Amino acid sequence: MPEQTDFAALIAGHHIAIEMINAGDSGLPVLTRLLREVQPALGAAGAAFVEFTPSGGRVIAASGGCEWTVGRPLSATDPAVVCLLTGPRIRQARIEHLDGQLTRELVGSGLTWMVVARAEIGGVTVGSLHVLYREGDAHRTDARDAAVGYLATCIAHMYGDQHGLPVHGDGPVVAALADGLAVVDQGGTVRLWNPAAARLTGRPAAQALNEPLPFPLPHSGRALDHRLPDGRWLKINSGELPGTGQLRVVTFRDITDQQRRARDRELFVAVTSHELRTPVTVIKGYADTLNEHWDSLTEGDRRQAAQIIGQRANDLARLVDRLLATTAETGPGVEPSVPFDLAAALRAAADNLPGEVRRRLRLDLPGDLPTACGHQQSLTTVLTELSTNAVKYSAPDSPIEVSADADGQTIAFRVADRGIGIRPEHVERAFDRFWQGESGDRRRYPGAGLGLYLVRQLVEQQNGWVSLRPRVGGGTVAEVRLPRG
């Protein structure tokens, strides 16, 4: 590792990220590339960026020796999180002095200290940049700390531009907003613009005053919902300002969460009806055929029809189970985690997979794999969802490979395919409920967009985490990590 920060390499790496943005890239691909470029310039063993929401944080991008942390959630009450989100914006920390599961795993992988800088917009923390080092690497320098702080500020600007970030829509950029207030004249020109209005719209008072209102003005006493270019929604109200006769007061607040819940309800109805219709139609069609043409059908035809009815009924039952599981409330009723044999659980789960999936599965499980800590019965669901997803997006005869290994703190298994792969900007969105890579009636790949959402819920209930990444040479790798037993 270099003793000094390589500023030439740092600037070159930043320039690459800027060129990606200028070329139309945004969000996670740019952020991930930036980390990979600047990590060696900072003489670091790894770099990671954590995005924060009101409920906690999640590692959304990482490089080098901590790339394995991508997808890892961080609790808002984790002492390490609380410590790093308070005090100076840029600081150095000995990792072993911080309490928390993730910090212990980092120390177990040889990472002992780090430089941390918060990414802030208007005093609101949207995330934190972590540059990690091993024992014996060059120690703290003011130049290095300033460089890390500068990079965190650059990432904050990416959030401020709303191009692909935040990855999670309930982030603090949305949650911290208060009601905005403006006063406009008869021509709709802004005469007063409060700080909350500036935060809500991203338009400071200097740009808003003496300019037209940047969104529709409802009739006095009325309200309307308006969608901003960045995808957020505002509830806008207006009324006459008493005593003036010429001025109107406009108030507006963020209703993105309410709109999202309404959209989720609509999606649930649409997806459920669409996905239920296909198996029901097939079952009814073959049942009618058997009922009306039984005598004219051969024994082979009858057997084939009964087999198809059974397969579609299984598909229907699985879909209903997923719908119920993903709409159920999770809470204190979740059973405690216990040690179990992960290799044996995966083999048993593989035996219960649908025939087409089981035929393509290739297990590579070490005989000395340590125990995991979690819910063994959930492994069947997790493996089923990940492997059927791999089958769906890969060629009919290509293998689906399941492998496993362990480190000092966690035990992991991976489901890898050689299919169409996943775009970097979709590795997090794929876990959203009802999200699908394609939309409309001409989707090439069927599905309700519930499988990966369910997998993340099940894995995180066991204090583990799951992530996706493109596979070298083509395809996708899904990785599940659980604590060791």
What pLDDT, on the 0 to 100 scale, is given for residue 399?
95
Predicted local distance difference test score (pLDDT) of residue 329 = 44
Interacting residues of 248 by C-beta distance below 8 A, sequence separation 6+ = 183, 184, 185, 217, 220, 238, 239, 240, 241
Report the pLDDT value the prediction gives residue 374, as an integer from 0 to 100: 92
Contact indicator for 388, 354 with CB cutoff of 8 Å:
yes
pLDDT of residue 416: 96
Nearest to 115 by CA among 137, 87, 97, 94: 94
| Residue 464: pLDDT band with limits 50, 70, 90 | very high
What pLDDT score does 53 carry?
Answer: 74
pLDDT band at 220 (very low <50, low <70, confident <90, very high): confident
What are the backbone angles phi and psi of residue 296, rounded to the nearest 5°? -90, -10
| pLDDT above 80: residue 268 | no
pLDDT band at 315 (very low <50, low <70, confident <90, very high): low
Kindly indicate the confidence band of residue 126, based on its pLDDT and cuts at 50, 70 and 90. Answer: confident
Across the range 231-242, mean pLDDT stands at 80
Q: What is the pLDDT of residues 278-313, one digit of tens each?
A: 677 778 888 888 988 898 889 888 888 888 888 778
pLDDT-derived band at 440 (thresholds 50, 70, 90) equals very low
Q: Model confidence at 248, in pLDDT bands (50, 70, 90)? A: confident
Q: CA nearest 168: which of 126, 118, 198, 199?
A: 126
Average pLDDT, the chain: 82
330: pLDDT strictly greater than 50: no
Q: Which residue has the tokens 């410590």?
A: 83
Please check the confidence at residue 442 and state whether its pLDDT lies above 60.
no
Report d(CA 39, CA 132) in Å as an integer.
9
- pLDDT of residue 467 exceeding 70, the answer is yes
Average pLDDT over residues 128-149: 86
Task: Tell me: pLDDT of 326 over 60.
Answer: no
- Average of pLDDT values for 127-147? 85
In this predicted structure, the answer to whether residue 48 has a pLDDT above a threshold of 70 is yes
Higher-confidence residue of 139 and 374: namely: 374
Please give the span between the terminal C-alpha atoms of the chain, in angstroms, as a whole number.
35
Please answer whether residues 164 and 27 qualify as being in contact, where contact means their C-beta atoms are separated by less than 8 angstroms.
Answer: yes
pLDDT band at 168 (very low <50, low <70, confident <90, very high): low
Band of pLDDT at residue 36, cut at 50, 70 and 90: very high
Q: Using alpha carbons, select from 441, 385, 434 the residue that is nearest to residue 269.
A: 434
Q: How much of the chain exceeds pLDDT 90, in percent?
A: 29
Residue 265's pLDDT band, with cuts at 50, 70 and 90, is low
170-209: pLDDT as tens digits = 444 433 434 677 888 888 888 878 777 888 888 888 898 8
d(CA 30, CA 327): 34
Peptide bond into 446 cis (omega under 30): no
What pLDDT score does 445 carry?
46
Q: Where are the beta strands (DSSP E) in 241-310?
A: 248-254
Give the confidence band of 139 by pLDDT, cuts at 50, 70, 90: low
The SS3 call for residue 140 is coil
Note the pLDDT tens digit of each residue in 360-411. Answer: 999 999 988 999 999 888 888 889 889 988 998 899 889 999 999 999 889 9
**pLDDT tens across 70-105, in order?**
888 887 777 677 767 777 899 988 888 887 788 889
Cis-peptide into 166, omega within 30 deg: yes
Query: Residue 149: its pLDDT value, please?
Result: 93
List Cβ neighbours of 97 (8 Å cut-off, separation of 6 or more).
Answer: none
On the question of pLDDT at 439 being above 60, the answer is: no
